[in-house]
Amino acid sequence: MSIDTLILIVIVIYSIILHEIAHGYIAKLCGDKTAERAGRLTLNPIPHIDIFGSVILPVIAVLSGWGVFGWAKGVPVNPYNLNTRFKEFAVSAAGIATNLLIATLFLLLIKFGVFPNIYNELFIRIAIINIGLGFFNLLPIPPFDGMQILRSIFPSLKHRYQFIEYNPMLMIIMVLFAGYIFSLFYSDLITFILNIFF
């Protein structure tokens, strides 16, 4: 494995971890300390890593040219502690918002030349990975955050399609299907966002 590929995998793993920590931290701010008690508000990758979602799928995605996406073990949240739809929305959207904020930060560092140009290639990789993770998780398909956001806005969807999330085989099928769909517009999405900044 080349050093470039290794760096890419490390960036993917920590971008996913920050995504999950954001869910847990916002849940804590909203009154639910479940994630904190479970030891999930940590940068230590071990409690977060899901072998398929955090390692196998991102590697397959990168090597196949599908883009960059994946997930970590879901942060435990007790919905009974989130007593408003706004809190449910905030927790559901926190991971996506974190990835997009990370991408924005590193694109701005490049744009304004805060660091020497030798870092630009690394920064652009970090930005592109986080754009991919953010928008991939925005897909309104279970088990992604996009579906949880819809459920927070439309309570009638709360118990819809949950059978998919409890069936590992269906989950893998849905993720691969979503990955294929995402790959169809991933390059155009990246080009569009980079054009906004540069």
Residues annotated as catalytic (active site), given as ranges: 20
**Residue 194 CA, distance from chain mean position:** 19
